[in-house]
Amino acid sequence: MALTASLRMVLAAPHRAGYPFIAAGAAVTFVGILVSAWLFWLGLGFTLFSLYFFRDPERVTPKRPHLAVAPADGHVCSIMLASPPLELGIGIEPRFRVAIFLSVIDVHVNRIPAAGQVTRIAYHAGTFVSANLDKASDENERNAVALRLPDGRDLAVVQIAGLIARRILCDIREGDQVFTGQRFGIIRFGSRTDLYLPPGVVPLVELGQTMIGGETVIADLSQALT
């Protein structure tokens, strides 16, 4: 059963962002058949890598209300109190930030952590230091999304470019109503995703814990309301 689940994840259909890379690799592979063996293997290797990197498996999101789920696959590299990006306009009060580092072998499709309305999307140009460093949240290129929960509170999810990542894609727009676990973007070739919880909400995850985007529960959003 576990082997079947693993195969389904590895062999999942690719995200549309990977189509140009897969097509380029297939073209090089085809030319290699006609020209040379080394070009064939180079093209085939790149094609297989692209299929793996851009895989977009289905996820089973918990149905219980008031949960915030992981916005990305990877492992928790930082849990700390921090102010959300100023460009989002949701205040400077420190709140828990859970940072997820995505290695090159992780699924890179980002998912909505909790249902709500997109109130602000803000892109910030920056550097490309290693995404597992705390300073990456402030210094690296990023795309920040603010979500207004049905109860009026705000949370934020930030796509952050890594050391070799050079492309952040975001498919949602300001004003969109989104649901928990919904795909909303992808970061190419290594990255980090930060989740800023509403003030007073404490994360349920631990440093180093492995995250499954759209499935792993990060916090119970109702805890600060009781």
pTM, 2 dp: 0.86
37's CB contacts (< 8 A; 6+ apart) are: none
Catalytic residue among 50, 78, 137, 191: 191
Could you confirm whether 191 is annotated as catalytic?
A: yes
Q: What is the pLDDT along the chain (226 residues), one digit of tens a residue?
A: 444 455 455 567 878 887 888 899 999 999 988 888 889 999 999 999 889 888 889 999 998 989 999 999 999 999 999 999 999 999 999 999 999 999 888 888 999 999 999 999 998 876 555 555 566 566 678 899 999 999 999 999 999 886 665 678 889 999 999 999 999 999 877 688 999 999 999 999 999 999 999 999 999 998 765 5
Pairwise CA distance, residues 106 & 73, whole Å: 6
Token digits for 183?
A: 């795909």
